[in-house]
Chains A and B, each alone.
Chain A
């Protein structure tokens, strides 16, 4: 043929949401799944994928043999209460302006959420971008502006870029409280943990839909160990409904053909190596913490970042070390988020789902952010059964 079609911005949205394509992929998945002799349980790790599955009703397009397990890929949901308390305590400091991204505002800690802190007089600002923090710091030279940084590998480089720009401008009043976490370690923990509390040996995860915007930064290579060492195929999928459907199809085909590989569905944005410039920025400012507690999952080694020692002067955990408590706080007794995150239970099986635990007053991590499995179920109301 050889006609050079020009790509329009609209195509990047519409063509990956096309109803006919979604239906066709569903038919193909049904066709392939019929050849399977067993059920397959696929974990979509990332909250964004959970959101797509629930919002577009993709579960209703799957054959019975394919089940989704909703993973812990929601950096707000997995934030331990004690660290949310850090944000609250910092916000309540007289001279501090606490800045963070949208969803953090509503997350409840022991004293309340940042929204509560704001109504009690704290200066809390939510921003769309860490770059806006620079503006706030420049406009308020007499205040200490603390950026409460959250997010996976997708978001970490932006915090790094903010620090770089602040350095260049010689800003003296910008501090960072780092809560960046990484994805492969928690995936590994779910299927191979030494922590008997996690009970990973009873996990039922057969394959992963790999977080893809994470891979835009870190590269798809970060998932290599899952097919190679753990026998779990991984397909790195985009976030539009067509992407997720094609990703599931690719996984089902692997099972039918007895393959176990790492594949990229999201070819237009994901490569094996990722964005090297972004990785360099991350490496310049951050290093791994030996341990980090994930709400509902316990301590996971090498799963989070902290500022390197030479940046202790902008590390809020160091500067405010004497007022930030480190005791761990237990989750609510009736909360079964840990089980939900490992695929051992569905939100609807939780005693307090939708009653004592709702998005307005969440008890556990899965309900806390709109990306969490429980919140997604609550919002989109499972109409299937």
Chain B
């Protein structure tokens, strides 16, 4: 619930159980106690008070983004159809 932000892993130090992460140009060292086994450089992680909480699922993130794109596409379709129904002079007649 608390402030936790996505960051990218740029370097891992297995011995110290830490990683260097980058958040839009700001770099910080965080503990990887909870993601030690799976974390790789290039992963996106959620950072909370100096620790990586988890590894963000890129697949699920992209799927969500794809869903939103579809919603927007559908809205555009709707708006165009509605505009035609409303009798607007729509020159974009596809």
Give chain A's interface residues, CB within 8 Å of chain B: 5, 7, 9-13, 15-16, 18, 20-21, 24-25, 27-28, 45-49, 73, 75, 101, 128-132, 151-152, 154-155, 157-158, 161, 164, 183, 211-214, 216-217, 239, 242, 246, 267-269, 275, 277-278, 281
The 8 Å CB contact of B48, one of A15, A154, A277, A281, is A154
Q: A25-B71, A268-B60, A277-B34 are in contact. Are A129 and B65 (CB under 8 A)?
A: no
Separation of A71 and B53 alpha carbons in the complex (Å)? 24
| B residues near A132, Cβ cutoff 8 Å | 50
| B residues near A158, Cβ cutoff 8 Å | 31, 48-51
Which residue of chain A has its CB nearest to the CB of B23?
Answer: A9
Q: Is the CB of A13 within 8 A of B31?
A: no
Q: Is the CB of B1 within 8 A of A212?
A: yes
| B residues near A217, Cβ cutoff 8 Å | 53
Which residue of chain A has its CB nearest to the CB of B46?
Answer: A269
A selection of 5 A-B contacts at a CB cut-off of 8 Å is A24-B68, A48-B1, A157-B53, A213-B1, A268-B61
Q: Is the CB of A9 within 8 A of B50?
A: no
Interface residues on B, range: 35 or more
Query: What's the least CB distance linking B6 to chain A, in Å?
Result: 4
Separation of A239 and B72 alpha carbons in the complex (Å)? 21
Q: A7-B61, A152-B1 are in contact. Are A12 and B53 (CB under 8 A)?
A: no
| B residues near A130, Cβ cutoff 8 Å | 49-50
Separation of A45 and B1 alpha carbons in the complex (Å)? 9
Query: What's the least CB distance linking A35 to chain B, in Å?
Result: 17
Which residue of chain A has its CB nearest to the CB of B33?
Answer: A161
Separation of A227 and B35 alpha carbons in the complex (Å)? 31
The 8 Å CB contact of B34, one of A25, A161, A267, is A161
Q: Is the CB of B71 within 8 A of A152?
A: no
Separation of A5 and B58 alpha carbons in the complex (Å)? 10
| B residues near A151, Cβ cutoff 8 Å | 2
The 8 Å CB contact of B8, one of A9, A20, A211, is A9
Q: Is the interface of B mostly helix, strand, loop or mixed?
A: mixed
The 8 Å CB contact of A27, one of B33, B49, B75, is B75
Q: Is the CB of A154 within 8 A of B4?
A: yes
Query: What's the least CB distance linking B15 to chain A, in Å?
Result: 12
Q: Is the CB of A21 within 8 A of B44?
A: no
Q: Is the CB of B35 within 8 A of A9?
A: no
Q: Is the CB of B50 within 8 A of A216?
A: no
Which residue of chain A has its CB nearest to the CB of B73?
Answer: A24
| B residues near A155, Cβ cutoff 8 Å | 2, 48-49
Q: A9-B24, A267-B60, A277-B35 are in contact. Are A24 and B71 (CB under 8 A)?
A: yes
Which residue of chain B has its CB nearest to the CB of A265?
Answer: B64
Query: What's the least CB distance linking A43 to chain B, in Å?
Result: 14
| B residues near A161, Cβ cutoff 8 Å | 31, 33-34, 51
| B residues near A46, Cβ cutoff 8 Å | 1
Separation of A7 and B68 alpha carbons in the complex (Å)? 15
The 8 Å CB contact of B75, one of A24, A131, A183, is A24
Q: Is the CB of A275 within 8 A of B68?
A: no
Query: What's the least CB distance linking B31 to chain A, in Å?
Result: 6
| A residues near B68, Cβ cutoff 8 Å | 15, 18, 21, 24, 242
> Which 8 A-B residue pairings sit nearest by Cβ, starting from the closest?
A129-B50, A46-B1, A267-B60, A268-B61, A12-B6, A268-B60, A161-B33, A278-B34
Q: Is the CB of B54 within 8 A of A275?
A: yes
Q: Is the CB of A48 within 8 A of B2?
A: yes
